[in-house]
C-alpha cells in the first residue's frame, strides 16, 4: 500500500470505503475522495467555487463523520457537486475543510448518490505514523 490512498469494496447493497494517510487531516481528504468516487468521475470537472466549514476539536471518528456528512449535505443542497477537499488543522485543534465544487454538467455520474454514512460501519485507527478509516456508504 502507498502512504496515502483509498479504495472501495462491495457490500450487500451499499459500498465500503477505506482510506489511509500519514495523519488524520490527510486521511479525511482521502475518505472524501473515496466518497466522491462513488458518485462522480471528476476527470473533466470544471471547478466553480469552494465551500468552507469548520470541524470542532474532538475524536477522529467525529471529525470524519462530520466531514462526510457535510459532503453529502452539500451534494444534496448545492447546485454544484463536491469533487474534492482540502483539510487543514485549525488553530483551535479542530479542522478547516474546504470543499472543491464543480459545475454539475461537467461531472460524469458513476453511480448512485450517497444517502448517508452508516455510523455502525465506522472504524478508525490511529498510530503515530498512520491514520486509517473504513465506513459504509448507504447508496
pLDDT tens by residue, 80-137: 999 999 999 999 999 999 999 999 999 999 888 899 999 888 999 999 999 999 999 9
Torsion angles phi and psi, residue 68, rounded to 5: -65, -40
Pick the closest to residue 58 from 50, 70, 66 (CA basis). Answer: 66
The whole-number pLDDT of residue 1 equals: 60
Assign 3 a pLDDT band (cuts: 50, 70, 90).
very high
Are 99 and 120 spatial neighbours (Cβ–Cβ below 8 Å)? no
Residue 21 has pLDDT above 90, yes or no: yes
Q: What is the pLDDT of residues 120-133, one digit of tens each?
A: 889 999 999 999 99
Q: How far apart are CA 20 and CA 81, in angstroms?
A: 24
Report residue 10's pLDDT band, with 50, 70 and 90 as the boundaries. confident
Q: Is 23 within 8 Å of 3 (Cβ atoms)?
A: no
Grouping H, G, I as helix, E, B as strand and the rest as coil, residue 107 is: coil
Q: What is the predicted pLDDT for the residue at 112?
A: 83
Candidates 54, 47, 98, 51; CA nearest to 77 is 51
- The per-residue pLDDT for 64 is 98
Q: What is the pLDDT of residues 32-68, one digit of tens each?
A: 999 999 999 988 899 999 999 999 999 999 999 999 9
Selected residue with higher pLDDT from 53 and 11? 53
Q: Please tell me the pTM assigned to this model.
A: 0.94
Cα–Cα separations (whole angstroms), residue 91 to 28, 35, 49, 95, 107:
18, 27, 24, 8, 34
Amino acid at each position: 500500500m502507498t502512504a496515502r490512498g483509498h479504495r472501495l469494496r462491495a457490500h450487500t447493497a451499499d459500498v465500503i470505503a477505506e482510506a489511509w494517510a500519514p495523519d488524520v487531516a490527510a486521511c479525511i481528504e482521502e475518505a472524501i475522495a473515496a466518497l466522491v468516487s462513488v458518485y462522480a468521475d471528476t476527470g473533466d470537472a470544471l471547478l466553480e467555487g469552494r465551500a468552507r466549514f469548520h470541524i470542532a476539536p474532538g475524536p477522529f471518528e467525529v471529525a470524519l463523520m462530520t466531514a462526510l456528512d457535510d459532503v453529502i449535505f452539500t451534494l444534496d443542497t448545492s447546485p454544484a457537486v463536491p469533487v474534492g477537499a482540502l483539510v487543514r488543522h485549525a488553530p483551535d485543534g479542530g479542522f478547516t475543510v474546504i470543499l472543491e465544487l464543480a459545475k454539475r454538467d461537467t461531472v460524469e455520474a458513476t453511480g448512485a448518490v450517497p444517502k448517508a454514512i452508516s455510523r455502525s460501519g465506522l472504524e478508525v485507527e490511529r498510530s503515530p505514523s498512520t491514520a486509517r478509516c473504513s465506513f459504509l456508504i448507504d447508496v
